[in-house]
Structure 1
Amino acid sequence: MPPVQPMLAKAVKGVPQKGDYSFEPKWDGFRCLVFRDGDEVELTSRNTKPLTRYFPEVVAAIKEQLPERIVLDGELFVALRSSSGRDRLEFEVLQERIHPAKSRVDMLAEKTPAGFVAFDLLALGDESYLERPFTERRAAMTEALTGLTGPCFLTRTTRDPAEAEQWFADFEGAGLDGVMAKPLAAPYEQNARTMLKIKHERTADVVVAGYREHKTSTPESPLLGSLLLGLYADGELQHIGVSASFTAARRAELIEELQPLVCPIEDHPWGKWQEFLTANPERVPGTQSRWSQGKDLSFVPLRPERVLEVKYDHMEGRRFRHTAQFKRWRDDRDPESCGYEQLEEPVSYDLARVLSGADNPAGGDGDD
């Protein structure tokens, strides 16, 4: 029975060509653990919060389609038919399902029904599968879930890296956002980054910790200029960068949406850094550097309760090198779960070798 924490993934660049992996599509939905014991069904999120009341149609499908006693790891999703006649995952529509009113939940369950795709087995009958290698978990899950045609599904897998690369290219058009790689011999480790994820872009789930007003903002028409972002390291919220590219209408919407989170700086995790407002120590927000002399870097502190998914190009030290792009809110994530370990770590390389041409023994121009 819950709570059980799902196994996590670490971002890597490119489908691994070596090693014993099982590859599967990376679904774009809500991570969900399913617990069924007869007529009792519980759905829990990535951060172990209950999801059951928001997806009554999935609960009904689980009772109809899945074995009587089973625990599965998978993903909740909503797929809609596009104008071209093809189904596509719609994360924004899925987010609408998290609503306090039962009447709205029931209406959306009928209007935009969700599905569940299973991709790992934790228990079946009286047996726990947590300590078994993925090869055994997958074999038992395939046998137990044979014949599913929806709303519950079993994800496809392959051991062929070339086929996984083809999926990476082809499935994006259906709203999937990459490929997962699972070590065949690994057990199911709760809250451990055992799996690998290969995504179409570098993304990170970050904590919104404050904002700065736009230079055109006025008391009568307040506008948000940028969001200050943070990640947790050793239990403390560190400054990692900003997100700033918004339309004027979106700037007005965001500043209004964030007002309930405004708090005194003394109550904020970054309050202890007030004394450094002109010194610019590492990762301290709102501080001056030689590039920002004269700029107003004061910010409005927010209680760090909301999580945002951003797109970024690369890191410089422990910060985003450039402004991160606002992608979407992640209300299914706990702020404390957003740490540096989720970030892709580039392979280190000696700059001297680049400058000296040491990798080109022929001494040519490098285009051969």
Structure 2
Amino acid sequence: MNFDLTEERQMLQDTLRRFLSDRYTTTARNEIIESDAGISTEIWNELAELGVIGALFTEEQGGFGGAGFDIATVFEELGRAGVVEPFLDTAVLGGGLITALGNASQTALIDDVIAGGLHLALAHGEPASRYDLSRVEATAKVDGDEIVLNGRKAVVINAEAAGYLIVSAREGGGAFDKDGISLFLVPAGTTGLTLQGYAMMSGGRAAEVMLDDVRLPVSARLGAAGAGYGALVDTVARANVALAAETMGAMETATELTREYLVTRKQFGRPIGTFQALAHRYSDLLIELEQARSAVTNAAGNLESTDRDLQIAAARNLMARVGRLVAEESIQMHGGIAMTQEYELAHIAKRIVMTDHRFGDADYHLERFIDLSAA
């Protein structure tokens, strides 16, 4: 099997890498992180013009990509540069759910998303849900020709910048039931919708979302009543491939920074990388990176297969374990400089570690892999 990038994906990768290496410096990123918005509208719009968002959608949806390898190509480069802009939340999660479930008027929003003019956020996780996609306690009650939402959503990334929140709420069943979960398009500023925003450790912003008698027209529902769980599972599978690829890119940056430091920093009149103990530790990182890349390739290639969930669980578990190893070893081989915010590795290490806590950590994906293998 040929795992080389197609000509179009290679061009996309090269263009994205050149742009980010020129524009997304450590200083520029730190300024973005410290800003009130936590993202750069200028960078976002320029990347949209380059077609980065369009690469995450199929031609039928208005883009020019949308396959597993398209997602992996884009997010590996975003991870390599430590980009904090919400491509996962707006395009993969928000855009993915709208294209999967939306009617004609709802899917018309995707053109604006691809052009960079509209942000989205998925408000699904709740304070008690942990990683269980079916754990939804927020409620949706039909009241005449309206739907009334009540509940709370936790760590909703990009909520403050989003023009629409895609909110999950239960129209039937118990708290853990897969049936009965509906998804709704909630415009920003809707009466009863309250956001409590905060900066995240790895960059970007999130918010706690309170829904207090939020009234929406029935037309705000995405898809059929109580039938949103399947689309959530499919969309999160795509997000997991994106996260694995993003971690891959970040790990490559961490190891390259470590290599540069080992051949530059001198002790006893020679580069510290020539000392056997450090050389062996660095070699171990390179071996783990090769295994990690194979796992990302496998997950991306199986995104549309019947074996999808098993392969993604394996990839996310491996990326979590290798990612933590790379982050820790890179910091240790650097010493104290690696913890300073002005140095690139500080942010990259945070991105690697915190990615492990989105849509399942290493233990969660290991348990899921075991369950799927036994099924």
Q: Give the shorter-chain TM-score range.
A: under 0.3
**TM value normalised by structure 2:** 0.27
**TM value normalised by structure 1:** 0.27
Larger C-alpha radius of gyration, 1 or 2?
A: 1
Higher strand share: 1
Higher helix share: 2
